[in-house]
Amino acid sequence: MLEGKVALVTGAGPNIGGALAKALADAGATVGCNDISEGAAIAAVESLGSGKGIPLVGDITDEDQAEAMVQTLVDEYGRIDILVNNAAVTVPHGLLETTLEEWNRVLLINLTGTFLMSRAAARHMKQQATGGSIVHIASTSGHRGRADALGYCTAKGGVLNMTRAMAMDLAPYGIRVNSVSPTKTGISVGNLESAGDRFFAEIPLGRLGMPTDHASAVVFLSSDQAEFCTGIDIRVDGGALSTWGLPPRALAELTSSGKDA
């Protein structure tokens, strides 16, 4: 499906990022695996199995490093066709507790990093004149508010509208920009909750998301099968955003567990 394509995945460490990189490689793409941790970037490449890829160690919030990572991939393989902006961070604080330093860090990584990587990749895609695909990993938290996640909700809401704005900017060059909104999946962003500790009764399909759920959507949006899709968001959330409040099953579970509904 993606034979001959060259992709770059940011935050390609454990959980969703590694699954995205492997799914793209399994579909035939060569994948640059970015992480700020050298060990995580190397491990992501090793997890590709028979797929081709290289580690790209760098800070997506640094303009020079963002451009250098894209250039390294282009120098190695001659092009870049797909960018997946997955790197993210959160702080478990609400309005009254969030410090300015925490606020700036969450927006810097989730929003500014996405902007810098997209701009660097899109400039090369434009020069190649063969189009391309940029996929942002958003979140159900960007569609609605929740307590103790002010910076993350704000940043992911920005990612959703950034997707639409970038899609308009890049449509003349055949570069498509879309997003995927996961719900709770495995460990939380920042390893704040383990998979076993995460409460998911509010998800109508009755389980946490799996990294492969989101990877399938990313592969689709990166492929020619989605050639007429731009500016859209695919919600891979088990129906979470279709609900209003908690379904009866979730309320029953909350009551029986002693949690405050």
Could you tell me the residue range of the domain that residue 83 belongs to? 6-257
Higher-pLDDT residue of 187, 76: 76
pLDDT single digits (tens) 112-138:
999 999 999 999 999 999 999 999 999
Which residues fall within 8 angstroms of residue 214, CB to CB, at 6 or more apart? Answer: 16, 19, 20, 137, 180, 182, 185, 236
Quick check: is 173 catalytic?
A: no
Total tally of structural domains belonging to the chain: 1
Higher-pLDDT residue of 49, 222: 222
Predicted TM-score (pTM) of the model is 0.91
Mean pLDDT of 226-232: 98
> Is residue 206 included in any domain, yes or no?
yes
Query: What pLDDT shows up at residue 255?
Result: 64
Query: Which of 90, 88, 66 lies closest to 8 in space, CA to CA?
Result: 66
Burial tier of 146 (Cβ tally within 10 Å: 0-12, 13-18, 19+): exposed
Q: Does residue 248 carry a pLDDT above 70?
A: no
> Is residue 1 included in any domain, yes or no?
no
Instruction: Give yes or no for a contact between 149 and 244, defined as CB atoms under 8 angstroms apart.
Output: no
Instruction: Label residue 173 by pLDDT band (50, 70, 90).
Output: very high
Query: What pLDDT shows up at residue 257?
Result: 58
Residues facing 134 on adjacent strands: 83, 177
Query: What pLDDT shows up at residue 13?
Result: 83
CA distance 115 to 61: 9
Instruction: Label residue 246 by pLDDT band (50, 70, 90).
Output: low
pLDDT single digits (tens) 174-224:
999 999 999 988 555 555 554 444 467 778 888 889 999 999 999 999 999
Instruction: Label residue 2 by pLDDT band (50, 70, 90).
Output: very high
Mean model confidence pLDDT for the chain = 91
> Is residue 130 included in any domain, yes or no?
yes
Instruction: Give yes or no for a contact between 82 and 29, defined as CB atoms under 8 angstroms apart.
Output: yes
Q: Is 196 helix (H, G, I), strand (E, B) or coil?
A: helix
> Is residue 64 included in any domain, yes or no?
yes
Catalytic residue among 110, 152, 154, 213: 152
Strands of 175-182's sheet in order across: 53-57, 30-35, 6-9, 82-85, 132-137, 175-182, 233-236
CA distance 261 to 259: 6
> Is residue 199 included in any domain, yes or no?
yes
Query: What pLDDT shows up at residue 260?
Result: 46
CA distance 53 to 69: 13
What CATH number is given to the structural domain containing 234?
Answer: 3.40.50.720
Query: What pLDDT shows up at residue 135?
Result: 98
> Is residue 25 included in any domain, yes or no?
yes
Instruction: Give yes or no for a contact between 177 and 76, defined as CB atoms under 8 angstroms apart.
Output: no
> Can you point out the beta strands (E) in the chain?
6-9, 30-35, 53-57, 82-85, 132-137, 175-182, 233-236
> Is residue 157 included in any domain, yes or no?
yes
Which residues fall within 8 angstroms of residue 95, CB to CB, at 6 or more apart? Answer: 150
3-state secondary structure 103-118: HHHHHHHHHHHHHHHH
> Is residue 248 included in any domain, yes or no?
yes
Q: Is 178 helix (H, G, I), strand (E, B) or coil?
A: strand
Angstrom distances, CA of residue 203 to CA of 39, 88, 110, 115, 124 = 34, 22, 24, 31, 40
Mean pLDDT of 74-78: 97
Angstrom distances, CA of residue 29 to CA of 2, 54, 130, 180, 202 = 5, 12, 16, 19, 36
CB atoms closer than 10 angstroms to residue 228: 7
Residue 175 sits at φ, ψ, to 5 deg, of -100, 120
